[in-house]
Amino acid sequence: MIVVLSKNISARDKELVRVYLRDRGFAVRDQRFGDDQMIGAAGKGLVDLRELGLLPGVERVAATSKPYELASRETRAEDSIVSVGETGNVKIGGARITVIAGPCAVESREQIRETAERVRESGAVLLRGGAYKPRTSPYAFQGLGMKGLEYMKEAAEACAMPIVTEVVSPELALDMKDLTDMFQIGARNMQNFELLKKVGALGKPVLLKRGPSATVEEWLLSAEYLLAAGTKDVVLCERGIRTFETYTRNTLDISAIPVVKSLSHLPVIVDPSHAVGIRAKVSSAALAAIAAGADGLTVEVHPRPDDALSDGPQSLYPEQFEKLMRDIEALAPVVGKELLRTPQPNPSAAAFRKSGADSPGGGAALSAKPVAYNGESGAFAEQALVRVFGEETPRTQVQSFRGIFDAVLEGSARAGIVPVENSLAGSVHENYDLFLRYPDIAIVGEVKLRIVHCLIAGKRADMDSISTVRSHPQGFAQCRDFLDKHPSWVLEACNNTAAAVGSIAREGAANVAAIAGAAAAKVHGLKILKEGIETNPLNYTRFLVISRKFSDGASGPPGAAGDTTFAGTAGDAEAWASSGSEKPDKASLVFSVPDKPGSLFACLKIMADNGLNLSKLESRPIEGKPWEYQFYVDVSIPEQGDFFTVMEELKTRTEDFRFLGAYRGSL
């Protein structure tokens, strides 16, 4: 049992809590979890939890059946998210997939700098590398020590990446503290309890690898040592266990991922390099880990693996790592996550962020505002918002799609998220048309969310008791095969799926169910009667992130930590260069053409001749002009060539040309 104390508890009240527990047969101990003071109570004592919770200075009581109390999901139901680095924009856990990459060991200044640049370019957000290497043979390369750590820190700062490196002894922990952003406890040291206590007391994030022969409970108890010592940021790393199999270096325990995530709130990542030990097998194991629910990966990459001083056979070439990152990005939406990307290093962007100005690149004033979406808590739009901006981002609910545009235009929201297309139902034309009514709003990003529908009802309901089902009309359409099996059910349309769930929670009706996502059920404390009831599992909705254009004509990125988007309007090429974000690879525009033969063909030819691949072309009636049409177009932005020059040429062949925005497209 854990008793969480108020931050302003007096010494007298704290002692009263201790005495209260001892008198009832418990052994007590003082603990810290980050900034929280706690008292742990162990033993077979008996206590009234309500009475204990009313004692002066007691904030809450968490009773747990697990020996790893602080790490247990019984103590904390929500997933923990660990922030790494000075800016905190590298986060592990939640709706993101975080990739750590780098060499097994720092071998030289040039080697670690080259590796850092290559993995950063491919999308890694945290640099790994060993300065101290515990090796089986005393004659093997043991690392460069503090000099290697200095090289690594230098390379990481140049590439705007935090670093994680292994600490091998309690004596070195304090010396390494200021040179690393995250400590790694290696597999051999998982049960070095003095090291765990020392590192935990320093308060920095810790990556804890599973020992080669450790059970899941032993692994979590090692995490408990770190948490009890004072740090609140622990990431668990599965790196394979020792079995009888010899065809791989270790056996990757994929099953440990869902098991640990059910037992603990801590993030879980996987080290496929050490798990299989064979370069050709690393990518397959990495993708399997993501499919099993891992929050991220740590991958060994070396520019010349054949010359590596350690672990060369399992280190990926930079080209292999780049392909792996593309594969992860393609897989991420299937498991309901987004690959985390962070802004690339840029002095101009750093100056913007330091000033806190509302400028391309973000700023303190901008990022403090909420992000707007339509619907209630648990809506698919809110899930898309979290995928882009993170769980911690403040958000505001509005009652209509138009309300999102109004909130962004008026400045009460820094950004908004709107659905524009479903892979089965087609375009949300209302939102496409709103872009024409709000010329000062631009598209700054997109996210594709897999839509998994559930039948949700109250705690007392079951399939036999249901007589009425509520949802958005598209929810009904997407679950038609399931609903056809229950012809007696009455269907009631709602403004959105989350609103349908909310209405059931407020009414408490046992005969009414809703079709919505699992997140809505969790928010309202309802139960899922049946999951995955959509007719077609390849059901995705494309959401666009919108932002207000600035006075210079450019639109600023939402400014969220880890955001991957940057917007532009025609003429924004200079802003892109100084934004610190990745260059956009997709653009959206709308135009009409003269009423004469070949007009549309001429526009399409300009795009084709300049390497602009069309991913969407849709006609829409022009409001107030019967039988006249405009065309919505999504195009790729090629790596070579002057994209804006092509846009200027396109203007000469069109009427009412509107550039809606340029951004990073999601796969």
At a CB cut-off of 8 Å and minimum separation 6, what does 137 contact?
A: none
For the cut 90, the answer to whether the pLDDT of residue 93 exceeds it is: yes
> How many other CB atoms sit within 10 Å of the CB of residue 508?
10
What average pLDDT does the structure give for the chain? 87
Q: What's the whole-number mean pLDDT along residues 323-334?
A: 91
Confidence grade of residue 356 (pLDDT, cut at 50, 70, 90): very low
Can you identify the CATH homologous superfamily of domain 2-62?
A: Phospho-2-dehydro-3-deoxyheptonate aldolase; domain 1 (3.30.70.1140)
Q: What is the CATH number of domain 82-339?
A: 3.20.20.70
| Band of residue 563 on the pLDDT scale cut at 50, 70, 90 | very low
Q: For residue 277, count CB atoms less than 10 angstroms from its CB and return exposed for 0-12, middle for 13-18, buried for 19 or more.
A: middle
pLDDT at 332 over 50: yes
Token couple for 499: 């609103």
Q: Which of 253-262, 325-334, 581-590 has the lowest mean pLDDT?
A: 581-590
Quote the percentage of the chain above a pLDDT of 90. Answer: 62
How confident is the model at residue 344, as a pLDDT? 67
Q: What is the mean pLDDT of residues 554-573?
A: 37
- Asked if residue 558 has pLDDT above 60, the reply is no
Looking from the CA of 624 toward its CB, the CA atoms found within 13 Å total: 1
The residue-averaged pLDDT of 472-484 equals: 92
The pLDDT value recorded for residue 559 is 37
For the structural domain made of 362-450+540-663, what CATH number should be given?
3.40.190.10
Q: In angstroms, rounded to a whole number, what is the distance separating the alpha carbons of residues 319 and 508?
A: 56
Angle at 312 between CA 184 and CA 328, to 5 degrees: 65
Residue 107 has pLDDT above 70, yes or no: yes
**The domains spanning 82-339 and 454-531 adopt the same CATH topology:** no
Indicate the domain borders of the chain: 2-62, 82-339, 362-450+540-663, 454-531
Distance CA 238, CA 252 (A): 8
> H or E stretch including 436?
helix 429-437
Q: How far apart are CA 544 and CA 443, in angstroms?
A: 7
Q: Which of the pair, 623 or 184, is modelled with greater confidence?
A: 184
Mean pLDDT to the nearest integer, 316-335? 92
Averaged pLDDT for residues 249-262: 96
Task: Judge whether residue 626 has pLDDT over 70.
Answer: yes
Among candidate residues 79, 78, 186, the one with its CA nearest the CA of residue 131: 186
Are 638 and 447 within 8 A, CB to CB? no
Q: How far is CA 298 from CA 102, 165, 289, 310, 593, in A?
A: 8, 11, 11, 16, 51
Side chain identity at 355, as an amino acid letter? S
Per-residue pLDDT, 573: 37
Q: What is the pLDDT of residue 666?
A: 67
Q: Look at 18-32, 231-245, 585-599 and tell me which has the smallest mean pLDDT.
A: 18-32
| Region of residue 521 (phi > 0: left; psi between -120 and 50: alpha; otherwise: beta) | alpha
pLDDT at 561 over 80: no
Tell how strand 490-493 and strand 468-471 pair up: parallel
Instruction: Tell me the per-residue pLDDT of 116-146, one tens digit each, with 9 for 90 and over.
Output: 999 999 999 999 999 998 877 887 888 899 9
Tell me the whole-structure pTM to 2 decimals: 0.73
pLDDT band of residue 51 (cuts 50, 70, 90) is: confident
272 close to 294: Cβ distance less than 8 angstroms:
no
Does residue 49 register a pLDDT over 60?
Answer: yes
pLDDT value, residue 290: 97
pLDDT band of residue 574 (cuts 50, 70, 90) is very low
Q: Which distant-in-sequence residues (6+ apart) come within 8 Å of 85 by Cβ?
A: 126, 161, 162, 181
Query: Treating both helix axes as pointing N-terminal to C-terminal, what angle do 216-229 and 256-263 enclose, rounded to 10 degrees?
Result: 40
| DSSP states of 262-284 | HHBSS-EEE-HHHHH--HHHHHH
Highest mean predicted confidence (pLDDT) among 219-223, 634-638, 650-654 = 219-223
Note the helical H segments in 203-300: 216-229, 256-263, 272-276, 279-291
Residue 366 has what pLDDT? Answer: 52
The mean pLDDT value for 377-391 works out to 89
**537 or 501, higher pLDDT:** 501
The pLDDT of residue 569: 38
Is the pLDDT score of 414 beyond 80?
Answer: yes
Return the pLDDT at 357.
32
Fold of 454-531: D-Maltodextrin-Binding Protein; domain 2 (3.40.190)
Sorting pLDDT into bands at 50, 70 and 90, what band is 582? low
Q: Comparing 611 with 367, which gets the higher pLDDT?
A: 611
- Which residue is it, tokens 């009263």? 16
What whole-number distance in Å separates Cα of residue 463 and Cα of residue 455?
Answer: 9
Higher-confidence residue: 296 or 6? 296
Q: What is the dihedral of CA 253, 254, 255, 259, to 10 degrees?
A: 100
Would you say residue 548 has pLDDT above 80? yes
Residues involved in catalysis: 541, 543
